[in-house]
Chains A and B, each alone.
Chain A
Amino acid sequence: VSEVGDSGLSVYERLIGEDRVSGRLYTDPAVFEREMERIHHRGWMFVGHESELAEPGEFVTRRLGRQPVLLTRDDTGVVRLWSNRCPHRGATVCALDQGQTRFFRCPYHAWTFDNAGALVALPGEEGFGPTFDRDMHGLAPVPRMDTYRGFVFGSWSHEGQTLLEHLGDARNLIDRACDVSPVGEISLRAGWLRHRIGANWKMAAENVCDFYHPPITHGSSGLMGGVPPGYFSDAYGGLTRDLGGGHGEVDYRHTEGGSQTGLGPHGFIFPNLFIEASSIFVIQPVSVGEMTHLQTPITWVGLPEEMQRPQSRRFAMAFGAAGVIEPDDAATWERMQLGLQAGEPEWVMLERGVQFDDTREGRALDEIVMRGFWRHYRSLMTDKAAVR
């Protein structure tokens, strides 16, 4: 175990400056372990969308942090979030990514649970004696689950801020994504592309509101022809906004080309959700040097097909492991992961537009959202109340 993991909380105060962070935060396994404990296995994280479970009995399996979870809609229509783990001996009770079922049966001893999590059958129950209580052996719910406009979030912590408190000003991103639809509803039923990338999860998080990189990283994509000239420059007039709580957005609504790159907002909800105009991305940490980047296109309920089609075409072309945008981001993050193995210089620089930090709003290319991310990250990694 390295010095970073072992030593006191103040180490993180030193590793995370106002305009720079240590490269070790992307490469040290001990940092990753602490992140899992203090961020992904404690705070609120996006896990799925209610529309993925539109029908009773529909389910999806995901990871919440590193832990396998099962999101279900029971026969009465209630959405629930479980550990995907048999309470008997621990096998996953569901091996599929998604589907529809009334029952989940463990493969080991056939303990069987209904889609409301109750243990409803097990072989040889009488052998467990008269005190055996099925009610004590249902699926274990994830301690907290809550939804906002169909977006389902989970937390492994029994206590802490509410989902609405966690979302804070970032609620507006979800509102705007939904309100593209005339009835205020989105649907995510096209399935997910899951891209495994050899880089630390924070590189994807920071990249969301990095409008400095697109013309360079994505210059080959053929999609730059779709944005107005000079779009990715400060002069064009877009704004980048630190929404607090690690959340942030880039906002072009007030500019001439404001509606040209997609219909919804472009923003990040800490620590794992990226709403990209007409797509949803989830950043899934795997290890200090690996992540999975999940992506799916948004369908807006009630919006005419001809308004949706260009967006779904753009998704199909750009994203996933074989898109023309995503592989260049992935390659860049993988190059960063390699480069940061060099311990000198110590710092990764995030200084662009630091003079606007007081207002939490900068020019389009400023690194203001990244600094907001790190301030929130630092508060979580050094939170003394979180030490157990």
Chain B
Amino acid sequence: MSGIEELLEQQRVEQLLFLEAQLIDGRRFAEWEALWVADGIYWVPANGDDTDPRRQVSLIYDNRSRMHNRVERYAGGKAISQQPPPRTAHLVSNVTIKPTESDEVVGGDVSLIVHSAVHVAESRPGVRVDWAGRVIHHLVERQGALQIVFKKVMLVDNDQELTTIDFLL
């Protein structure tokens, strides 16, 4: 890949991550869901970054139907913890594209592995929390667009006592 192509790919990936952050902060959940492939996995491990999600507890380990259930709950207006909804601002940085043959490929159908860092400022009544972590996205090319296959958010304090996380990281 030429230098120009690399630059374009970097920008394309960054734009997807920035868009995802904006959709989350804007509570545009249907559009957020549309970024995902049908068998996507959204994972926020607990008690370390490299746990086995089938044997160890996770903060979040969602397949697509659970993701849908989660955002439906956010949008539904019935959840007590969403009255009012938390306000968030996601700052995405340190975006790096990794060679797909390199490390943590979970499924066969992955075009790009992207590492980044996220800082989320959260506000709800009486509470102001800063969340931070490293993030891994697995992306796949589908009909000319990048879609999310897998997203893992490794919070820096995932081994500590945590306050409620009732928003998308």
Checking A192, A320, A332 against B80 with a beta-carbon cut-off of 8 angstroms, the contacting residue is A332
Interface size on A, residues (CB 8 A): 35
CB of A324 within 8 Å of the partner chain? yes
**How long is the Cα–Cα vector from A316 to B44 in the complex, in angstroms?**
11
**How long is the Cα–Cα vector from A217 to B81 in the complex, in angstroms?**
9
Let me know if B78 and A219 touch, CB within 8 A.
Answer: yes
Chain A neighbourhood of B66, CB < 8 A: 317
Let me know if B166 and A327 touch, CB within 8 A.
Answer: yes
Let me know if A190 and B164 touch, CB within 8 A.
Answer: no
**How long is the Cα–Cα vector from A195 to B165 in the complex, in angstroms?**
10
CB of A198 within 8 Å of the partner chain? yes
Interface membership of chain B positions 142-164, coded 1 if the CB is closer than 8 angstroms to chain A and 0 otherwise: 00000000000000000111111
Let me know if A190 and B165 touch, CB within 8 A.
Answer: no
Chain B neighbourhood of A292, CB < 8 A: 161
**How long is the Cα–Cα vector from A194 to B83 in the complex, in angstroms?**
23
Q: Which residue of B lies closest to A189 (CB)?
A: B55
Checking A190, A296, A322 against B59 with a beta-carbon cut-off of 8 angstroms, the contacting residue is A322
Let me know if B81 and A327 touch, CB within 8 A.
Answer: yes
Chain B neighbourhood of A68, CB < 8 A: none
Let me know if B163 and A196 touch, CB within 8 A.
Answer: yes
**How long is the Cα–Cα vector from A191 to B165 in the complex, in angstroms?**
18
Let me know if A335 and B80 touch, CB within 8 A.
Answer: yes
**How long is the Cα–Cα vector from A326 to B51 in the complex, in angstroms?**
22
- Min CB–CB distance A210 → chain B (angstroms): 14
Interface membership of chain B positions 73-100, coded 1 if the CB is closer than 8 angstroms to chain A and 0 otherwise: 1001011111100000000000000000
CB of A97 within 8 Å of the partner chain? yes
CB of B57 within 8 Å of the partner chain? yes
**How long is the Cα–Cα vector from A196 to B44 in the complex, in angstroms?**
17
**How long is the Cα–Cα vector from A338 to B125 in the complex, in angstroms?**
11
Let me know if A194 and B57 touch, CB within 8 A.
Answer: no
**How long is the Cα–Cα vector from A315 to B61 in the complex, in angstroms?**
11
**How long is the Cα–Cα vector from A328 to B74 in the complex, in angstroms?**
11
Interface centre among A197, A297, A316 (most CB of B within 10 A): A316
Q: Which residue of B lies closest to A330 (CB)?
A: B164
Using A97-B47, A198-B127, A297-B57 as known contacts, say yes or no to A222 and B165 having CB atoms under 8 A apart: no
Using A191-B47, A321-B164, A327-B166 as known contacts, say yes or no to A220 and B76 having CB atoms under 8 A apart: yes
Chain A neighbourhood of B134, CB < 8 A: none
Let me know if A194 and B56 touch, CB within 8 A.
Answer: no
**How long is the Cα–Cα vector from A320 to B46 in the complex, in angstroms?**
10
- Min CB–CB distance B169 → chain A (angstroms): 8
CB of B37 within 8 Å of the partner chain? no
Using A191-B51, A316-B58 as known contacts, say yes or no to A324 and B160 having CB atoms under 8 A apart: no
Interface centre among A198, A220, A335, A338 (most CB of B within 10 A): A220
- Min CB–CB distance B158 → chain A (angstroms): 10
Let me know if B61 and A316 touch, CB within 8 A.
Answer: yes
Using A97-B159, A328-B79 as known contacts, say yes or no to A316 and B70 having CB atoms under 8 A apart: no
Within 8 A of A (CB), among B111-164: 126-127, 159-164
CB of A147 within 8 Å of the partner chain? no
List chain A positions with a Cβ less than 8 A from chain B.
97, 189-198, 217, 219-222, 292, 295-297, 315-317, 320-322, 324, 326-328, 330-332, 335, 338
Question: Which 8 A-B pairs give the minimum distances between C-beta atoms?
Answer: A331-B81, A220-B79, A220-B78, A322-B165, A327-B81, A194-B161, A196-B161, A327-B164
List chain B positions with a Cβ less than 8 A from chain A.
44, 46-47, 51, 55-61, 66, 69-70, 72-73, 76, 78-83, 126-127, 159-166
With contacts A97-B47, A190-B55, A220-B76 known, what are 7 further pairs, Cβ within 8 A? A189-B55, A190-B57, A220-B73, A316-B57, A328-B80, A335-B80, A338-B126
23 A-B residue pairs with Cβ-Cβ distance under 8 Å, sorted by A, are A193-B46, A193-B59, A194-B160, A195-B161, A195-B164, A196-B162, A197-B164, A220-B80, A222-B72, A222-B73, A296-B57, A316-B57, A320-B46, A321-B162, A321-B163, A322-B59, A327-B81, A327-B164, A328-B79, A328-B80, A330-B164, A335-B80, A338-B126
